[in-house]
């Protein structure tokens, strides 16, 4: 079954063709990051307009690269939530019109379910049940993937996502948007251990996380240094910050493995590209004899193929939608599509 899949929830327009949920036939992405870098972060209205400008041409590219015409496409999958509402609506409206015009099923896909499904593309042997650690720019959570479409959130951030925290911390260090990658490169130039940073604990919810205190601490540290004219060891701060984020994520993921009894952990989302977090997740899993699934960097960030992968399993579970399908800025991962 060939699915044409769309992703437009933030600043990447993506169209892909995926076969049987596991094989990428094409994965076309148009990133707007350079445009938003001018403003130090994503400007929602600009994101929506850029999606409108490129989505038709990107679809033609995805079909051509897959060696397909519209007649080869069995269904259309699309991110319907969560994300910047105007941006999600562009992909959703486009996908709806194609599904309607071509007379094929429309499959709504939750964006974070898509991130987790990127692992199915990278690891043909991976099957539920397993534990997922989804760490992206807008979402940070630990999920029990009981089955392809039966996914339960075990813990999540109470405030900022890990990626947002990376982006804000990077900004005060003078790094360009999106800050995760340059922060990663800077952090590797230092062993850290210079700046004490807070570690959050959420009372009564051992798998829940919090990143806003850490973000504020880095911002205050950098501003204070600037005000009193103290030199800032930027590489050490980048390292200490990344270690602090990792200290939020890794022990909780390991605790969730203990609680569920699972021996498989799949990482997902843009922050899963972090060299330091990848290494620490790997070391923690190795120490417990658990298998860690780390998608290649190309499948960590937003892409259309991951939506096609999850879309396939949503389709098998009978989860298609009609033309009344709406977009949602926020929606729980647990909830089936409307």
In whole angstroms, the minimum distance from the beta carbon of 180 to ligand KG4 comes to 2
91 binds ligand KG4 (CB under 6 A): no
What Cα–Cα distance (Å) separates residue 33 from each residue in 114, 183, 326? 21, 16, 26
Tokens 């933030």 sit at which residue?
A: 10
- In the complex, what is the shortest distance from the CB of residue 166 to ligand KG4, in angstroms, rounded to a whole number? 5
Q: In this structure, how many other beta carbons lie within 10 angstroms of the beta carbon of residue 32?
A: 21
With CB under 6 A as the rule, give the number of residues binding ligand KG4: 19
128 binds ligand KG4 (CB under 6 A): no
Among 86, 155, 163, 311, binds ligand KG4 (CB under 6 A): 163
Contact call for residues 91 and 62 (beta carbons, < 8 A)? no
Angstrom distance (rounded) from CA 314 to CA 317: 5
Residue 51 sits in the site that holds ligand KG4 (CB under 6 A): no
Q: Which of these ranges, 147-155, 174-182, 192-200, 304-312, lies near ligand KG4 under the rule CB under 6 A?
A: 174-182
Beta strands in the chain (DSSP E): 2-7, 12-19, 23-31, 75-81, 106-110, 130-135, 140-145, 151-156, 264-268, 291-293
* Contact flag: residue 313 with ligand KG4 (CB under 6 A): no
Query: What Rg, from alpha-carbon coordinates, does the chain have?
Result: 20
Among 120, 166, 313, 315, binds ligand KG4 (CB under 6 A): 166
Q: How far is the CB of 310 from ligand KG4 (least distance, A)?
A: 13
Of the two residues 259 and 297, which places its CB atom closer to ligand KG4 in the complex? 297
Output 104 or 186, the one with its CB closest to ligand KG4. 186
Closest by Cα among 67, 12, 15 to 42: 12
DSSP letters along 136-199, please?
Answer: -SS-EEEEEESSSS-EEEEEEBSSS-HHHHHHHHHHHTTPPSS-HHHHHHHHTT----SS----
Query: What is the CA angle 187-277-176, rounded to 5?
Result: 45
Site membership for ligand KG4, residue 311 (CB under 6 A): no
99 vs 114, which CB is nearer to ligand KG4? 114
Q: Which residue among 27, 160, 167, 314 contacts ligand KG4 (CB under 6 A)?
A: 167
Q: Is 269 in the site for ligand KG4 (CB under 6 A)?
A: yes
Site string for ligand KG4, 227-266 (x = CB under 6 A): ----------------------------------------
Tell me: does residue 114 bind ligand KG4 (CB under 6 A): no
Tokens 């999106």 appear where?
178
Asked whether position 306 contacts ligand KG4 by CB under 6 A, the answer is no
DSSP line for 214-227: HHHHHHHHHHHHHH
Which single residue is written with the structure tokens 């033309």? Answer: 323
How do beta strands 291-293 and 264-268 pair?
A: parallel
Which position among 149, 274, 280, 310 is part of the footprint of ligand KG4 (CB under 6 A)?
274
Of 326, 319, 303, nearest in space to 30 by CA = 303
Q: Does the footprint of ligand KG4 cover residue 270 (CB under 6 A)?
A: yes
Using the rule CB under 6 A, is 136 a contact of ligand KG4?
Answer: yes
Q: Encoding tokens for residue 193?
A: 């251990």
- Regarding 28 and contact with ligand KG4 (CB under 6 A), the answer is no
**Min separation Cβ 156 and ligand KG4, Å:** 14
Q: Which residues bind ligand KG4 (CB under 6 A)?
A: 10, 136-138, 163, 166-167, 178-181, 184, 269-271, 273-274, 301-302
């Amino acid at each position: 079954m060939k699915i044409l899949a769309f992703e437009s929830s933030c600043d990447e327009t993506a169209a892909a063709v995926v076969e049987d949920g596991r094989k990428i036939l094409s994965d076309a992405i148009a990133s707007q990051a350079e445009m938003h870098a001018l403003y130090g972060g994503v400007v929602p209205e600009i994101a929506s307009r850029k999606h409108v400008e490129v989505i038709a041409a990107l679809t033609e590219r995805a079909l051509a690269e897959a060696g397909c015409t519209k007649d080869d496409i069995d269904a259309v999958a699309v991110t319907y939530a969560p994300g910047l509402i105007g941006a999600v609506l562009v992909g959703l409206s486009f996908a709806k019109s194609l599904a309607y015009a071509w007379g094929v099923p429309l499959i709504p896909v939750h964006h974070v379910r898509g991130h987790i499904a990127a692992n199915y593309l990278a690891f043909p042997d991976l099957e539920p049940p397993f534990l997922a650690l989804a760490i992206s720019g807008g979402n940070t959570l630990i999920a029990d993937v009981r089955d392809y479409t039966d996914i339960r959130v075990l813990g999540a951030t109470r405030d900022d996502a890990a990626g947002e925290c990376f982006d804000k911390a990077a900004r005060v260090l003078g790094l360009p948007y999106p800050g995760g990658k340059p922060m990663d490169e800077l952090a590797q130039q230092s062993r850290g251990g210079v700046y004490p940073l807070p570690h959050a604990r959420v009372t009564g919810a051992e798998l829940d996380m919090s990143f806003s205190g850490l973000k504020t601490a880095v911002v205050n540290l950098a501003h204070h240094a600037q005000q009193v004219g103290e030199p800032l060891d930027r590489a050490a701060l980048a390292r200490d910050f990344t270690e602090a984020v990792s200290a939020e994520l890794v022990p909780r993921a390991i605790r969730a493995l203990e609680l569920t009894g699972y021996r498989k952990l799949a990482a997902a989302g843009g922050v899963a590209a972090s060299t330091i977090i990848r290494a620490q997740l790997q070391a923690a899993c190795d120490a417990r004899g658990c298998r860690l699934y780390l998608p290649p960097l190309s499948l960590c960030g937003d892409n259309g193929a991951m939506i096609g992968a999850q879309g396939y399993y949503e389709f098998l579970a009978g989860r298609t939608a009609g033309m009344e399908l709406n977009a949602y800025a926020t929606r729980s991962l647990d909830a089936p599509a409307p």
